Amino acid sequence: MGGTRRSSWLTFRRRLLLVRLLLRGAATKEALIAAVRAELGDEGYPAAAESALKHDLDALKAEYGCVFSFQRRSGCYTLEHLGDLALLDLPDECMEALAFLDASFPQGADLPGHFGVRNLLERLLLLLPASRRREHRKRRRAMSFQIATSIPGQVDPKVLAKVKRAVELRQELEFDYLSSFDEHGPRRHRVAPYGIYFRPEGHGYLDATLLDVIPGGNEPRHAAISYRLSRMVSGSVVILPNVLPPERQQPPSYALRYRLVPVVARRRDVATYFPETRITYHDDGSATVTATATNLWQARQILLRYGTGCQVLEPPELVELFRATARGLNEIYSP
């Protein structure tokens, strides 16, 4: 009896393992047999392994309604559907979150990373019971992130791959970069890369600490800069052997202070855009905001959203940036 129970338990584990393996993607019979033996030992598939594999797949079809396909050209098996073999169920709040992600990452988008999220969602849906999948299809997508489905500026896939690799390796990166203010051509930047992110409008950026730039400009060393991936010159990106230090080098920080007029601040629900934000509301409905900023150019972009509802008081460098912006706007719009 002990041998029979062990044999039945081994068969059960082996068949679940086959499903797990095929959930990862298509696989040849040789790869499936090798993976089963690697996890369960040689007794996972003893003699006549190919016949036993076919018997396992047939049993999964008969007992659970699993659907497999076999591509003769590639020699691979593919799991098309789990049938009644539901390996996952979720509480209602998680089903709502799944619907939220499904609406935020629709099929057919070409944003880097989007396909991976979409693939993950499809895998999760595949694991749910049929009744839960039907609920998901009927659920109204009441909420979603407004995320672009394509990149406005074309990113060279080779550039993206190298930047991603440098972040993973934690090694310095060097590239030619053409910013909006480089009138005489791209400049050579050497940076410490820390991550890639995409903004709602679809542009992709490298979050990096500036180490050096040739020719030099107004950027301070160790400034935290968001480099737009589409503006990195194709073929110029090089991963350097220098490994990043354990802690990120901190950029210069600035004490930020600005005043918001009553029409903006009177409801006392002012947004906090910067670290260490403190808001003081005044009797006339206005507010004074203090915070810390490390990127003055980005701080200007954020505070410009208030239009004439915001007056920057400190630091002097940011005040001068706003004055330059005001002069430029005056030149454009003066009658």
The answer as to whether 146 is a domain residue is no
Of the residues 243, 264, 299, which one is the last residue of a structural domain?
243
Whether 179 is covered by a domain: the verdict is: yes
Cα–Cα distance, 231 to 181 (Å, whole number): 12
Of 243, 275, 309, the residue that ends a domain is 243
**312 belongs to a structural domain:** yes
Q: Number of structural domains, the chain?
A: 4
Is position 143 within any domain? no
Share of the chain above pLDDT 90, in %: 53
Place of tokens 């749910």: 128
Alpha helix locations (H) across the chain?
Answer: 2-24, 29-40, 49-64, 92-104, 114-127, 130-138, 157-169, 262-265, 296-303, 316-333
62 in a structural domain:
yes
Flag residues of the chain having pLDDT under 50: 1-2
For residues 44 and 100, membership in a common domain is answered with: no
Within-domain flag for 76: yes
Quick one: pLDDT at residue 2? 47
Q: The CATH number of the domain where 202 resides is what?
A: 2.30.30
| 18 is a domain residue | yes
pLDDT tens, position by position, 52-99: 999 999 999 999 999 999 998 999 999 998 888 888 888 988 988 888
Residues 163 and 235 placed together within one structural domain of the fold:
yes
Residue 152 lies in a domain: no
- pLDDT tens, 285-299? 999 999 999 888 889
Nearest Cα to Cα of residue 198 among 165, 150, 158: 150
Say which residues have a Cβ less than 8 Å from residue 318's Cβ, sequence separation at least 6: 254, 256, 293, 296, 299, 300, 312
Q: Final residue of a domain: which of 243, 262, 282?
A: 243
The answer on 274 and 236 residing in a single domain is no
291's enclosing H/E stretch is strand 287-293
Domain that holds residue 35: 2-81
- Express each pLDDT in 173-207 by its tens digit: 999 999 877 778 899 999 999 999 877 676 788 99
pLDDT computed for residue 208 by the predictor: 94
For residue 13, give the CATH number of its domain: 1.10.10
Asked if 206 and 239 sit in the same domain, the reply is yes
Q: What is the pLDDT of residue 153?
A: 60
